[in-house]
Amino acid sequence: MPPPIGPEVDPTPRPLPARISLRGQHAVLEPLHRRHAAELWQAAQGADDSWTYLSAGPFASQAAMAQHVMALSVESERMAWAVRPLTTGIVSGWLSLTHIQPWHASIEIGYIWFSPRLQRTRAATEAIFLLLKLVAEDLGYRRIVWRCNALNAPSKRAAERLGFTFEGTHRQNMVVKGHLRDTDWYSIVAEEWPRVRDALAAWLDPVNFDAGGTALHGLAELRERLA
């Protein structure tokens, strides 16, 4: 009897993401560019704690942030977008696709920096949803990864809220800003995507919000209904 192996899949490599704008009802994702640096600098004022678990920041000056934004915008192995909420029209964060593996149909949403003014908004959730739809539906990736510092409780909560499944911890696998880091891994795989997608779409639907802008149903509840 032959040894067990995984299921057979289509081995065709997936396309690389393109640096294009993505527009939703609450946010526009624009390919990150140095011209976004001034708005990002303003969004970063008084938000030093938001950089705690990232490999860069906080920045001492607008010029320093502009230099980082410029370097990030031209990386060949990571594609970054600026997030422009439609309620304000002002860029208030960024997110990226990284660790792109076309032959394995695996990709990571990572290196996310959302300023306090963007955090916990419909625009923030939709920004991630736009990238999830791009890679899962338009490009056909089977596995979407979310990684974070094991001490980064807000990022872990965000992953679980969005529908990512915890996979485990890589112990002492990185040094960030001189500190040893354990990394928690999460993922969404192809079989899980339809329920994750439908729950996110239902959460973002205007009928899910009361007159004060509070969501009537959470993402976990909506996924449970779709189970």
In the chain, where the domains are located = 22-226
Summarize pLDDT for 132-161 with one digit per residue, the tens.
999 999 999 999 999 999 999 999 999 999
At residue 208, does pLDDT exceed 90?
yes
* 3-class secondary-structure state, position 74: coil
* 162-184 per-position pLDDT tens digit: 999 999 999 999 999 999 999 99
Residue in the block written with tokens 């997936």: 14
Give, in order, the Cα–Cα distances in Å from 70 to each of 20, 157, 214: 17, 30, 36
| Cα–Cα dist 117/28, whole Å | 15
Residues 62-121 pLDDT 10s: 999 999 999 999 998 899 999 999 999 999 999 999 999 999 999 999 999 999 999 999
Helices 219-226, 193-204: inter-axial angle, 10-degree rounding: 130
Q: Are 186 and 166 in contact (CB under 8 A)?
A: yes
Instruction: Please check whether residue 113 is in contact with residue 51, taking contact to mean a CB–CB distance below 8 angstroms.
Output: yes
Domain formed by 22-226, architecture: 3-Layer(aba) Sandwich (3.40)
Q: In what order do the strands lie in the sheet with 106-114?
A: 22-23, 27-31, 78-85, 93-101, 106-114, 143-149, 179-189, 165-176
Query: What was the pLDDT predicted at 48?
Result: 96
Q: What is the mean pLDDT of the chain?
A: 97
Say what the pLDDT of residue 227 is. 81
